[in-house]
Amino acid sequence: MIVAALVLLTIAGKLAAMVKDIVFAYFFGASPETDAYFIANQLPGVIWLAIYGTIASVFAPMYVRTMANPAAAERLVNEAIRYYAYAAISLTALCLILAEPMVSIFAPLIDGFTHDLAVKLTSIMVLGFVFTGYVGVQSALQQANRHFVPPLAVPVINNLIATAAIVVAYLMDDVTVAVVGAVAAYLVQAVIQRTQTRRFYATKWGWRIRPETWRRLSLLSAPMIFAVILDQLNIFIGTAIASGFGAGAISHFNYASRLALFISGVFSWLVSYLFFPALATHAAQGDDARNADVLTRALGLILVSTAPAAAGALALRTEVVALIYQRGAFQPDDVQTTATLFGILGLGVMFVALRELLNRVYFSYQKTMAPLLIGIVAAAVNLASSLILSDLYGIWGVAAGASISALIFCIGQFAIMAMWKPALLTSRLAVYFMAAVVAGAAAFLAAVSASGAFVALPLVARFVAAGLIVGGVYVPLLLALLALFGVKPSAVHADLRGLPRISPDGIP
């Protein structure tokens, strides 16, 4: 029952974020204002994500190692809050100073109006950094204590507030209001989450951080921050190159990217979120055998659940984009452009779905340099391929470069893991990967081939028909391929029997 609540809350959070994008597209469409809005979200958003991810993946394992000593754990929590508060305030000041050159670097070809508006919106958005460290520590603390349910409800509230701000922005004819609302939403989230973590620690006011804590957080966080920034640099690359294709191009690329990330992240994020405490605990104990079992089970769940969703969405990509975005200011031409970009970005969906969990494996063992090195290579590949392909195929080449980069990133994650800790990679995991990709590709081709037969049907009927075709091809072919490679049904059932069992108070 609790697992069902977790799944529903995760889906609700992702849907709330999608609804926010739908409302924004409805009122503002794809225009210079929306280009500026997306630029302002990206620039501080990447740094925000880098810090937030660092907290979850660096602070949480450190905290797990001190939980046996409540006094030491409480001291670490308070010092971590101070550490990330100092980092957030410093970054806020730096980004306020550098807002104009950042916009010029990452969107060099936009017109003057869009540039000036993007600078203004970025300067407002960076104020959200002030709450980043605090919110991140509260979330990591809850996750480490296996209280999974409460934190999943907060993003829903956050996105609802941000959505309401978009409506007000439209009524006031000022997109700036939407950005102010986004910052306010994080303030509300900080207040709510502190009420949820009072049982875990008492606030100790002060300024001091022990040198040991400074050193450990800095040494472990720095490589990961750069790794996440490099990973997200792929979006910057897309935005920078798309800025040369006219007004609205940045918006089309971002709408398509967000939809692809929605498909790749709905279930993979939940699996990563729930399995990370187990990975961190086994890593702290040096138990690679148990982590290999956890990794096989978690990646298997991500693969077999994401593949059919991606197959169906990509087969009906135009219908999906029209259903989600085509209303109000978002016109049919916008649908066609966004759908084509989504179809190309969709080639990397499966690889992006694996990224979060694989990164968390490295962070569980506090091996933070590996994602950094992988990110450098993937970003370089994205930049080179996007520049080359965009010269040949226009904006479609930008999406192709992003998909190629996702593939390179995934290959790098597995390659380094195979050299570093081959015991973590089981033969069953390889079978799940191959079977899910092949069965998903077959389901996609079947849905595309049959699409002409139900093109005259109403939109909902087309989705139902496509879903039946995808499921009818995917499930039996997946099972057949697994059996062919020697994975017995009992082993599949043991690996994929569900997410960790959660008690009524949210503890596995």
SS3 label, residue 499: coil
pLDDT at 486: 81
Query: How far, in Å, CA of 233 to CA of 218, rounded?
Result: 22
Give domain status of residue 501, yes or no: no
Within a domain: 507: no
473 burial level (CB within 10 Å; 0-12, 13-18, 19+): buried
In a domain, 504, yes or no: no
How far apart, in whole angstroms, are the C-alpha atoms of residue 112 and residue 86? Answer: 34
CA atoms within 13 A on the CB side of 175: 26
In a domain, residue 196? The reply is yes
Question: What's the farthest any 2 CA atoms get from each other in the chain?
Answer: 69
Please check whether residue 505 lies inside any domain of the structure. no
Q: How far apart are CA 270 and CA 258, in angstroms?
A: 17
pTM of the model: 0.73
Q: Could you identify the residue written with the tokens 């959070």?
A: 13
In a domain, 166, yes or no: yes
- Residue 446 is predicted with a pLDDT of 93
Instruction: Look at residue 53 in the predicted model and tell me its pLDDT.
Output: 67
Give the burial class of 391: count Cβ atoms within 10 A of its Cβ; 0-12 exposed, 13-18 middle, 19 or more buried: exposed
Using CA atoms, how far apart are residues 479 and 439, in angstroms rounded to an integer?
A: 9
Q: What is the number of alpha carbons within 13 Å of residue 365 lying toward its C-beta? A: 18
Q: Report phi then psi at 208, rounded to 5.
A: -80, 140
H-assigned helices in 176-210 = 176-196
* Angstrom distance (rounded) from CA 33 to CA 63: 43
- Tokens 């204002």, residue located: 33
Residue 236 phi, psi dihedral angles, 5° rounding: -60, -45
Residue 500 lies in a domain: no
Best CA proximity match to 442, nearest among 420, 475, 412, 414: 475
| Any domain includes 265 | yes
State the residue range of the domain holding 452.
2-495
Measure the CA dihedral 138/140/144/145, to 10°: 20
Task: Give the distance from CA 155 to its chain's centroid.
Answer: 13
- Write down the pLDDT at residue 323: 86
How many Å apart are CA 325 and CA 342, to the nearest integer?
13
Q: Residue 51 corresponds to which amino acid?
A: I
Amino acid at 201: Y
- Total domain count, the chain: 1
The tens-digit pLDDT sequence of the chain (508 residues) is 555 566 666 677 777 888 888 898 889 888 888 888 888 887 676 676 667 767 777 787 788 778 878 888 888 888 888 888 888 888 888 888 888 998 888 788 888 899 999 999 988 888 877 777 788 788 878 877 777 666 667 778 888 898 999 999 999 999 999 999 988 888 888 888 888 888 888 888 888 888 888 888 887 777 767 766 666 666 678 878 888 888 888 889 988 988 898 888 877 877 887 787 788 888 888 889 989 988 998 998 899 889 998 998 888 898 889 888 888 888 889 999 999 999 999 888 989 899 888 988 987 887 878 887 888 888 889 989 999 999 998 889 999 999 999 999 999 999 999 999 999 999 888 999 999 999 999 999 999 988 777 777 787 888 888 889 999 999 999 989 988 888 777 766 666 665 454 433 333 4
Q: CA angle, corner 163, sides to 158 and 167, nearest 5?
A: 150
Query: What is the model's pLDDT at position 7?
Result: 61
Contacts of 282 (CB under 8 A, 6+ apart): 288, 290, 291, 294, 364
